Amino acid sequence: MTFRIHVPSDTTAKARGADRIARLIEIVAEEHKIDVEVRRNGTRGLYWLETLVEVETDEGRYGFGPVKEGDIESLFAAEFYNGNIEHSLAVGLVEEIPYLKRQERFTFSRLGINDPLSLEDYQAKDGFKGLANAIKLSSQDIVDAVKESGLRGRGGAAFPTGIKWQTVLDVPSPKNQKYIVCNADEGDSGTFADRLVMECDPFMLIEGMIIAGLAVGATQGYIYCRSEYPLAIENLNSAIQTAYDHNLLGADIQGSGKHFDLEVRMGAGAYICGEETSLLESLEGKRGLVRAKPPLPAIVGLFGQPTVVNNVLSLAAVPFILDKGAKAYADVGVGRSRGTLPFQVAGNVKFGGLVELAFGPTLKELMFEFGGGTRSGRPLRAVQVGGPLGAYLPESQWDTPLGYEEFSQKQAVLGHGGIVMFDDTVDMSEQARFSMEFCVAESCGKCTPCRIGSTRGVEVIDRIRAGKNVDANMELLSDLCETMLDGSLCAMGGMTPFPVQSAMQHFTEDFVKNAASATQAKEV
C-alpha cells in the first residue's frame, strides 16, 4: 500500500529545513522499499513543531515534529509511516493538539490541511461556496452581509469593511472602472498571517477579492505584495493562473455574466507603502508619498477611480461570511470586535505561531496558555502588540482583553494582531531608539514632524542613553513625541510616539539608569 505523508511548504517550514526533509523521506523510503507518497501541505502554523511531518491514517493525521534531517532514519526504524507513535517526536493526532484544538479557525480552516495550489483540495473544503452564493445575490445584498458580519479592517485601522464597500458601491465611477486593491504589504514585525493566506491558501484570497468585485461593481483587482515574500508571490501567481484556467477569473465567471481580472504587483521594500494612499501611488508607478485625505480612496482611489483597499485578512474573511452566513461570523467576539482575529505570537516565545481566536481572551492567555512564555525561559518583561507603531505593554496591562476598543483605552493598538514578546534582557531605551530609527528609515518625507522629528528623536535618546542631562532630555523627548502626534499627516509619524512613550512611561528605569553613572563619572 501507499503511505501518504505531508511535509509543510510555507516560508517558515522551509526556513527550518522542510524541503530537505521532504526529499530525504523520499530517498530513505526508496532505500527501504517502502511505497511513500510525499505531499506538500502549507503549515498548521504551530511553528515550534516545524518541520511537522504528518502521516495520513484512517483515524486522522499523526504528527511528528520538530523533525530534523538526523531523525529520518529513526523515524523509518519506528515505522512512523504506519502512524506508529513509538517515537520521541510523535505528537499524536495533529488535530487533537490543544494549541490547535482550542483555536477557532474560521479563516484558516484549511491551513496545513490542503495542498496550497490544488484547486481540488480547496473546493473539497468549502472553497468557492461563498462565491457561488454571492453570484446569486445582488451587490447590495453582498454588502449587507459583510456589514452584518461586523467585519472590521484587519490591516490596522479597524474600519468597518461593509461601510467601506457601501461607499464604493454607491459612488459612480467617472471612467466606469472601479478597483479592488488588496493590501499585502504586511510590513509589521511580528506578523505573518497575510503571508500564510497567500502561501498556504491563495484561492481563499482570490475568492474574497472576486466577491468584493461583485459587491461594488469592480472588474479589476490588484494584490500589492511586498517583495520580501517571494514564495507568496509565486503561489499567488500560480493559483491565479489556475483560477483563470477554470473560469473562476476573467470574463463571464462560471456563466454568471460577471467579469473580474486579478494581477499581483510587487512592492519594493518600503514600509510606508502599506499605508493605503502610499500604496496606491506605488501601484500607479510613483514614489510612495502619502496622499492627504479626504478624498478617501473609496471615492478617489487608484488612477482616480473608486477603490476598495482592504487588507489580506479582511478579504480572506469574506468567503466564510458568504458561505456560513454573516451571523456565524458575528456570533463570536467581544463588544464591537466581531468574529475572529488570527493572532501571530512571535519574538521570544516558546510556542510561536498562528493562533486564530474569537476576540475576547486576554493578552496573558495568548502569551502563556498558547505561547508558553519565553523561549529563553527568562521572565517576560515587555510585549509589543500591533507592529512597530504599537505600544509596549508592561505586565500590569497583560490582562487587557483582545479587542479593538479594549486596547485603544490603554493607548495601545491591536493592529494586525502581531504579538512580539521580549524577556528581561531587553533594554527598553534601545527599543525606543529603534522606533525612532525605523521612522527615519521609512518616513515618506512629506511632513517635517515625521521626517525631522524622528531624526531628532534618535539623537535625544542617544543622549539619554549616554546619561547626559537625562531629565531635560526626557522632557525634550516627550515634547518631540507630542509634536509628532499632532503634526503628522499619517500614522507613521503619528503613531511612532506610541512605542516610545509607552517605553518611557512603563520602563523609565531603562532610560534613567545611566544618569547616575554619568553624574558619578563627572564627580570622579
Partner 1 sequence: MTTSKAVAWEPVTAQALIDDLKSKPGALLPILHAIQDRFSFIPEEAVALIAQSLTLSRAEVHGVISFYHHFRTQQPGRHMVEICRAEACQAQGSRALEAHAKAALGVDYHQTTADRNITLEPVYCLGNCSCGPSIRVGDEIHADVDATRFDELVEGLKTDRVEILL
Ligand X SMILES: Cc1cc2nc3c(=O)[nH]c(=O)nc-3n(C[C@H](O)[C@H](O)[C@H](O)COP(=O)(O)O)c2cc1C
List contacts with partner 1 (CB under 8 A): 11-12, 14-16, 20, 23-24, 27, 47-48, 50, 186-192, 195, 227-230, 265-271, 282-288, 303, 344-349, 352-353, 375, 384, 388, 418, 420-423, 426, 431, 434, 438, 441-442
Of 103, 183, 220, 337, the one binding ligand X (CB under 6 A) is: 183
Tell me the CA distances in angstroms from 523 to 62, 463, 496, 515, one per residue in order.
67, 19, 37, 13
Name the residue among 295, 247, 294, 243 with its Cα closest to residue 264: 243
Q: Is residue 265 classed as helix, strand or coil in its secondary structure?
A: strand
Residue 55 interacts with ligand SF4 (CB under 6 A): yes or no: no
Strand order in the sheet with 380-385: 353-358, 340-347, 418-423, 380-385, 392-393
Q: Please check whether residue 1 is in contact with residue 53, taking contact to mean a CB–CB distance below 8 angstroms.
A: no
Number of Cα atoms under 13 Å in the Cβ half of residue 472: 4
> What one-letter code names the amino acid at 364?
K
Binding flag, residue 490, ligand X (CB under 6 A): yes
Shortest CB 325 distance to partner 1, Å: 32
How many whole angstroms separate alpha carbon 40 and alpha carbon 19?
9
Of residues 112 and 494, the one with the C-beta less far from ligand X? 494
State in angstroms the smallest separation of the CB of 497 from ligand SF4: 11
User: Contacting ligand X (CB under 6 A), which of 243, 426, 432, 492?
Assistant: 492
- Beta carbon of residue 316, minimum distance to ligand SF4 (angstroms, whole number): 27
Binder of residue 89, out of ligand X, ligand SF4, partner 1, none (CB less than 5 to 8 A by kind): none
Pick 63 or 155: Cβ nearer ligand X = 155
- Out of partner 1, ligand X, ligand SF4, none, what residue 446 binds, judged by CB under 5 to 8 A for its kind, is ligand SF4
Write out the binding residues for ligand SF4, residues 282-301 only, by CB under 6 A. Answer: 290
What's the distance, Cα to Cα, between the start and end of the chain in Å?
A: 81
500 binds ligand SF4 (CB under 6 A): no
Min. distance of Cβ 156 from ligand X in angstroms? 4
CA distance 413 to 143: 27
Residue 495 CB, nearest approach to ligand SF4 (Å): 9
Cell of 32: 527501504
Residue 224: how many other CB atoms lie within 10 Å: 21
Between 63 and 386, whose beta carbon lies closer to ligand SF4? Answer: 386
**Which residue type does 189 have?**
S
CA distance 336 to 340: 12
Partner whose binding site includes residue 311, from ligand X, ligand SF4, partner 1, none (CB under 5 to 8 Å by kind) = ligand X
> Could you tell me if 104 and 332 are in contact, meaning their C-beta atoms sit under 8 angstroms apart?
yes
- For residue 153, the partner it binds in ligand X, partner 1, ligand SF4, none, with Cβ less than 5 to 8 A by kind, is ligand X
Kindly list the residues in this chain that would bind ligand X in the complex (CB under 6 A): 153-157, 159, 183, 185-187, 272, 274-276, 309-311, 314, 490-492
